[in-house]
Amino acid sequence: MTPQFRKLIRLFYPRSWRQRYGQELADLCDEYLEVGQTSRARLVVTLMGAGIAQYLRSLAPPRRFALLFASALLTATVALAVPSDGLGLLSAGGKALPAQVPAATAKAASSAMTCGCQGQAVAPAPPAIECPPGPSCRHVFVVPGTAGTALVQLNWGGAAALEGHHLDFPGSTRCLYLRPGTGTTFFSQVVSG
Amino acid sequence: MRAKGTWGSPDRSLLVLTSLAGGAKHGYALIKDVESFAGVRLGPGTLYGSLSKLEAAGLVVALPADDRRHPYEVTAAGLQVLSEQLSVTAHIAEVGLGRLAAAVRA
Protein backbone atom coordinates (compact mmCIF):
# COMPACT_ATOMS: atom_id res chain seq x y z
CA MET A 1 0.00 0.00 0.00
CA THR A 2 1.24 3.49 -0.77
CA PRO A 3 2.41 5.08 2.49
CA GLN A 4 0.91 8.40 1.47
CA PHE A 5 -2.60 6.95 1.35
CA ARG A 6 -2.08 5.09 4.60
CA LYS A 7 -1.06 8.34 6.28
CA LEU A 8 -4.00 10.24 4.79
CA ILE A 9 -6.45 7.63 5.93
CA ARG A 10 -4.95 7.64 9.41
CA LEU A 11 -5.23 11.43 9.53
CA PHE A 12 -8.66 12.00 8.09
CA TYR A 13 -10.78 8.98 8.90
CA PRO A 14 -12.15 8.03 12.30
CA ARG A 15 -10.41 5.09 13.92
CA SER A 16 -13.35 2.71 13.95
CA TRP A 17 -14.05 3.39 10.30
CA ARG A 18 -10.48 2.91 9.12
CA GLN A 19 -10.10 -0.29 11.11
CA ARG A 20 -12.95 -1.73 9.08
CA TYR A 21 -12.44 -0.11 5.67
CA GLY A 22 -8.99 1.53 5.74
CA GLN A 23 -7.07 -1.35 4.18
CA GLU A 24 -9.65 -1.88 1.43
CA LEU A 25 -9.80 1.83 0.68
CA ALA A 26 -6.03 2.13 0.41
CA ASP A 27 -5.87 -0.94 -1.85
CA LEU A 28 -8.55 0.55 -4.07
CA CYS A 29 -6.64 3.85 -4.25
CA ASP A 30 -3.56 1.95 -5.40
CA GLU A 31 -5.59 0.07 -7.99
CA TYR A 32 -7.23 3.30 -9.13
CA LEU A 33 -3.85 4.90 -9.69
CA GLU A 34 -2.37 1.86 -11.39
CA VAL A 35 -4.98 1.89 -14.12
CA GLY A 36 -4.60 5.63 -14.56
CA GLN A 37 -8.16 6.53 -13.59
CA THR A 38 -7.07 9.73 -11.92
CA SER A 39 -4.09 11.76 -10.84
CA ARG A 40 -2.51 11.28 -7.44
CA ALA A 41 -3.23 14.90 -6.47
CA ARG A 42 -6.91 14.59 -7.29
CA LEU A 43 -7.15 11.33 -5.44
CA VAL A 44 -5.56 12.84 -2.37
CA VAL A 45 -7.99 15.77 -2.40
CA THR A 46 -11.08 13.59 -2.82
CA LEU A 47 -9.81 11.22 -0.16
CA MET A 48 -9.40 14.08 2.29
CA GLY A 49 -12.87 15.42 1.52
CA ALA A 50 -14.50 12.04 1.96
CA GLY A 51 -12.53 11.47 5.15
CA ILE A 52 -13.66 14.74 6.69
CA ALA A 53 -17.26 13.94 5.76
CA GLN A 54 -16.87 10.53 7.34
CA TYR A 55 -15.38 12.02 10.46
CA LEU A 56 -18.27 14.48 10.76
CA ARG A 57 -20.78 11.65 10.31
CA SER A 58 -19.12 9.75 13.12
CA LEU A 59 -19.67 12.59 15.59
CA ALA A 60 -22.75 12.91 17.73
CA PRO A 61 -25.07 15.69 16.46
CA PRO A 62 -24.16 18.31 19.12
CA ARG A 63 -20.45 17.88 18.52
CA ARG A 64 -20.99 17.81 14.77
CA PHE A 65 -22.87 21.10 14.94
CA ALA A 66 -20.20 22.66 17.13
CA LEU A 67 -17.45 21.58 14.75
CA LEU A 68 -19.32 22.87 11.70
CA PHE A 69 -19.96 26.17 13.45
CA ALA A 70 -16.29 26.51 14.41
CA SER A 71 -15.25 25.73 10.83
CA ALA A 72 -17.63 28.33 9.44
CA LEU A 73 -16.33 30.89 11.94
CA LEU A 74 -12.73 30.13 11.04
CA THR A 75 -13.46 30.34 7.32
CA ALA A 76 -15.23 33.68 7.75
CA THR A 77 -12.35 35.04 9.85
CA VAL A 78 -9.76 34.01 7.27
CA ALA A 79 -11.88 35.43 4.45
CA LEU A 80 -12.12 38.77 6.22
CA ALA A 81 -8.46 38.86 7.16
CA VAL A 82 -7.11 38.16 3.68
CA PRO A 83 -6.87 41.25 1.45
CA SER A 84 -9.40 41.28 -1.34
CA ASP A 85 -7.36 40.70 -4.45
CA GLY A 86 -9.39 38.19 -6.35
CA LEU A 87 -7.74 34.82 -6.28
CA GLY A 88 -4.42 36.22 -5.25
CA LEU A 89 -2.89 35.01 -8.47
CA LEU A 90 -1.21 38.26 -9.30
CA SER A 91 0.36 38.74 -5.94
CA ALA A 92 1.68 35.23 -6.22
CA GLY A 93 3.20 36.18 -9.55
CA GLY A 94 5.24 38.84 -7.87
CA LYS A 95 4.42 41.73 -10.21
CA ALA A 96 3.40 44.99 -8.63
CA LEU A 97 0.06 46.45 -9.54
CA PRO A 98 -0.80 50.13 -9.70
CA ALA A 99 -2.33 51.17 -6.41
CA GLN A 100 -4.95 53.50 -7.78
CA VAL A 101 -6.75 54.26 -11.00
CA PRO A 102 -8.51 57.54 -11.74
CA ALA A 103 -12.16 57.35 -10.74
CA ALA A 104 -13.48 58.01 -14.24
CA THR A 105 -11.22 55.33 -15.68
CA ALA A 106 -12.24 52.88 -13.01
CA LYS A 107 -15.88 53.59 -13.70
CA ALA A 108 -15.42 53.07 -17.42
CA ALA A 109 -13.61 49.82 -16.82
CA SER A 110 -16.26 48.72 -14.37
CA SER A 111 -19.05 49.34 -16.83
CA ALA A 112 -17.13 47.40 -19.44
CA MET A 113 -16.67 44.45 -17.16
CA THR A 114 -18.96 42.04 -18.82
CA CYS A 115 -18.03 38.78 -20.31
CA GLY A 116 -18.59 39.26 -23.99
CA CYS A 117 -19.32 35.67 -24.79
CA GLN A 118 -21.90 35.14 -22.06
CA GLY A 119 -23.20 38.60 -21.26
CA GLN A 120 -22.71 37.97 -17.57
CA ALA A 121 -21.74 40.90 -15.40
CA VAL A 122 -18.77 40.36 -13.15
CA ALA A 123 -19.96 39.80 -9.64
CA PRO A 124 -18.09 39.36 -6.37
CA ALA A 125 -19.07 35.71 -6.56
CA PRO A 126 -18.69 34.89 -10.24
CA PRO A 127 -21.31 32.55 -11.63
CA ALA A 128 -20.03 29.12 -12.48
CA ILE A 129 -20.16 29.45 -16.22
CA GLU A 130 -17.69 28.54 -18.85
CA CYS A 131 -16.35 31.41 -20.83
CA PRO A 132 -13.77 30.32 -23.36
CA PRO A 133 -10.69 32.47 -23.76
CA GLY A 134 -10.93 34.82 -26.68
CA PRO A 135 -10.73 38.43 -27.72
CA SER A 136 -14.34 39.05 -26.67
CA CYS A 137 -13.78 37.92 -23.10
CA ARG A 138 -12.96 40.38 -20.39
CA HIS A 139 -12.57 37.71 -17.85
CA VAL A 140 -12.31 34.03 -18.20
CA PHE A 141 -13.80 31.22 -16.25
CA VAL A 142 -11.76 28.13 -15.90
CA VAL A 143 -13.49 24.81 -15.60
CA PRO A 144 -12.60 23.35 -12.21
CA GLY A 145 -10.20 20.52 -12.62
CA THR A 146 -8.26 22.04 -15.48
CA ALA A 147 -4.88 23.48 -14.85
CA GLY A 148 -2.54 25.46 -17.00
CA THR A 149 -1.06 28.79 -17.85
CA ALA A 150 -2.87 31.76 -19.26
CA LEU A 151 -1.31 34.77 -20.89
CA VAL A 152 -3.34 37.74 -19.77
CA GLN A 153 -3.35 41.39 -20.62
CA LEU A 154 -4.53 43.68 -17.88
CA ASN A 155 -6.24 46.90 -18.83
CA TRP A 156 -7.28 49.90 -16.87
CA GLY A 157 -9.93 51.72 -18.83
CA GLY A 158 -8.29 50.97 -22.13
CA ALA A 159 -4.70 51.71 -21.18
CA ALA A 160 -2.74 48.53 -21.18
CA ALA A 161 -0.91 48.56 -17.90
CA LEU A 162 0.54 45.13 -17.90
CA GLU A 163 0.94 42.94 -20.90
CA GLY A 164 1.96 39.39 -21.35
CA HIS A 165 1.62 38.40 -17.75
CA HIS A 166 1.59 34.67 -17.36
CA LEU A 167 -0.67 33.26 -14.70
CA ASP A 168 -0.45 29.71 -13.59
CA PHE A 169 -3.72 28.41 -12.30
CA PRO A 170 -4.15 25.19 -10.36
CA GLY A 171 -6.81 22.62 -11.02
CA SER A 172 -9.02 23.95 -8.26
CA THR A 173 -9.34 27.41 -9.81
CA ARG A 174 -12.92 28.27 -10.65
CA CYS A 175 -12.16 31.33 -12.65
CA LEU A 176 -9.49 33.83 -13.45
CA TYR A 177 -11.15 36.89 -12.05
CA LEU A 178 -8.78 39.63 -11.16
CA ARG A 179 -9.85 42.45 -8.95
CA PRO A 180 -7.38 43.92 -6.49
CA GLY A 181 -9.85 45.72 -4.25
CA THR A 182 -9.25 49.14 -2.63
CA GLY A 183 -11.25 50.82 -5.33
CA THR A 184 -8.98 49.68 -8.13
CA THR A 185 -10.92 48.07 -10.88
CA PHE A 186 -9.45 46.36 -13.85
CA PHE A 187 -10.12 43.46 -16.00
CA SER A 188 -8.07 40.78 -17.54
CA GLN A 189 -8.09 39.51 -21.04
CA VAL A 190 -6.78 36.13 -21.89
CA VAL A 191 -4.70 36.51 -24.99
CA SER A 192 -3.90 32.88 -25.28
CA GLY A 193 -4.57 29.84 -23.21
CA MET B 1 -25.49 25.25 -21.84
CA ARG B 2 -25.43 25.01 -18.09
CA ALA B 3 -27.42 21.84 -17.59
CA LYS B 4 -24.36 19.78 -16.88
CA GLY B 5 -23.37 21.94 -13.97
CA THR B 6 -26.89 22.47 -12.68
CA TRP B 7 -27.60 18.97 -11.51
CA GLY B 8 -25.76 17.11 -8.83
CA SER B 9 -24.86 13.49 -9.08
CA PRO B 10 -27.62 10.99 -8.44
CA ASP B 11 -27.75 9.54 -4.95
CA ARG B 12 -24.55 7.53 -4.61
CA SER B 13 -26.14 4.94 -2.40
CA LEU B 14 -28.79 4.34 -5.04
CA LEU B 15 -26.09 3.89 -7.67
CA VAL B 16 -24.21 1.43 -5.50
CA LEU B 17 -27.35 -0.57 -4.72
CA THR B 18 -28.30 -0.62 -8.39
CA SER B 19 -24.88 -1.92 -9.29
CA LEU B 20 -24.92 -4.60 -6.61
CA ALA B 21 -28.39 -5.72 -7.72
CA GLY B 22 -26.59 -7.13 -10.75
CA GLY B 23 -24.34 -9.29 -8.58
CA ALA B 24 -21.68 -9.04 -5.88
CA LYS B 25 -18.73 -6.82 -6.73
CA HIS B 26 -15.61 -5.48 -5.10
CA GLY B 27 -14.70 -1.79 -5.04
CA TYR B 28 -13.08 -1.28 -8.41
CA ALA B 29 -15.66 -3.38 -10.27
CA LEU B 30 -18.37 -1.31 -8.60
CA ILE B 31 -16.80 1.93 -9.76
CA LYS B 32 -16.52 0.70 -13.34
CA ASP B 33 -20.08 -0.63 -13.36
CA VAL B 34 -21.57 2.61 -12.00
CA GLU B 35 -19.58 4.56 -14.55
CA SER B 36 -20.87 2.36 -17.37
CA PHE B 37 -24.58 2.66 -16.59
CA ALA B 38 -24.80 6.09 -14.94
CA GLY B 39 -21.83 7.99 -16.32
CA VAL B 40 -20.76 8.85 -12.79
CA ARG B 41 -17.24 8.06 -11.67
CA LEU B 42 -17.21 7.51 -7.94
CA GLY B 43 -13.95 8.18 -6.16
CA PRO B 44 -12.61 5.54 -3.78
CA GLY B 45 -13.40 7.68 -0.73
CA THR B 46 -16.94 8.37 -1.92
CA LEU B 47 -17.53 4.73 -2.72
CA TYR B 48 -16.41 3.50 0.67
CA GLY B 49 -18.40 6.26 2.36
CA SER B 50 -21.51 4.91 0.66
CA LEU B 51 -20.62 1.28 1.31
CA SER B 52 -20.05 1.91 5.00
CA LYS B 53 -23.42 3.66 5.33
CA LEU B 54 -25.20 0.91 3.44
CA GLU B 55 -23.52 -1.80 5.46
CA ALA B 56 -24.37 -0.07 8.72
CA ALA B 57 -28.00 0.09 7.58
CA GLY B 58 -27.97 -3.59 6.71
CA LEU B 59 -28.56 -2.95 3.02
CA VAL B 60 -25.30 -4.52 1.82
CA VAL B 61 -23.00 -7.10 3.31
CA ALA B 62 -19.32 -7.81 2.77
CA LEU B 63 -18.50 -11.29 1.54
CA PRO B 64 -15.30 -13.09 2.51
CA ALA B 65 -12.28 -11.50 0.89
CA ASP B 66 -10.75 -12.87 -2.24
CA ASP B 67 -7.25 -11.59 -2.93
CA ARG B 68 -7.60 -9.07 -0.04
CA ARG B 69 -10.63 -7.46 -1.68
CA HIS B 70 -14.06 -7.85 -0.11
CA PRO B 71 -16.86 -8.23 -2.62
CA TYR B 72 -20.10 -6.64 -1.45
CA GLU B 73 -23.55 -8.08 -1.92
CA VAL B 74 -26.95 -6.46 -1.62
CA THR B 75 -29.20 -7.89 1.09
CA ALA B 76 -32.94 -8.57 0.88
CA ALA B 77 -33.56 -5.34 2.77
CA GLY B 78 -31.32 -3.56 0.28
CA LEU B 79 -33.33 -4.91 -2.64
CA GLN B 80 -36.52 -3.73 -0.96
CA VAL B 81 -35.14 -0.21 -0.47
CA LEU B 82 -33.83 -0.16 -4.02
CA SER B 83 -37.22 -1.23 -5.36
CA GLU B 84 -38.98 1.55 -3.44
CA GLN B 85 -36.49 4.20 -4.49
CA LEU B 86 -36.56 3.19 -8.14
CA SER B 87 -40.35 3.19 -8.13
CA VAL B 88 -40.36 6.78 -6.93
CA THR B 89 -37.76 7.72 -9.53
CA ALA B 90 -39.68 5.95 -12.29
CA HIS B 91 -42.87 7.76 -11.29
CA ILE B 92 -41.11 11.13 -11.40
CA ALA B 93 -39.65 10.26 -14.81
CA GLU B 94 -43.07 9.21 -16.11
CA VAL B 95 -44.76 12.41 -14.94
CA GLY B 96 -41.90 14.58 -16.17
CA LEU B 97 -41.77 12.98 -19.60
CA GLY B 98 -45.54 13.27 -19.96
CA ARG B 99 -45.49 16.96 -19.11
CA LEU B 100 -42.51 17.50 -21.36
CA ALA B 101 -44.33 15.92 -24.27
CA ALA B 102 -47.37 18.12 -23.60
CA ALA B 103 -45.17 21.21 -23.44
CA VAL B 104 -43.50 20.34 -26.73
CA ARG B 105 -46.88 19.82 -28.43
CA ALA B 106 -48.25 23.13 -27.12
Give the closest of A31, A37, A50 to B45, CB-based. A50
Query: What ipTM did this prediction achieve?
Result: 0.78
Measured in whole angstroms, the distance separating CA A63 from the mean position of its chain's CA atoms is 29
A47–B44: do the CB atoms touch at under 8 Å?
yes
Dihedrals φ, ψ of A165, to 5°?
Answer: -90, 125
Cβ atoms of B46 and B15 within 8 Å: the answer is no
- Tens of pLDDT along A127-179? 333 333 444 334 444 455 556 655 544 444 444 444 445 556 555 554 554 43
- Tens of pLDDT along A5-27? 788 888 888 888 888 888 888 88
- Tens of pLDDT along A84-138? 444 433 333 333 334 333 343 333 333 333 333 333 333 333 333 333 344 433 4
Does the global pTM surpass 0.80?
no
Please indicate whether residue B102 or residue A7 has the higher confidence score (pLDDT).
B102
B-chain residues within 8 Å CB-CB of A32? 28, 31, 44
Average the pLDDT over B24-42 and give the result: 91
CB-defined contacts A:B, below 8 A: 56
Please indicate whether residue A65 or residue B28 has the higher confidence score (pLDDT).
B28
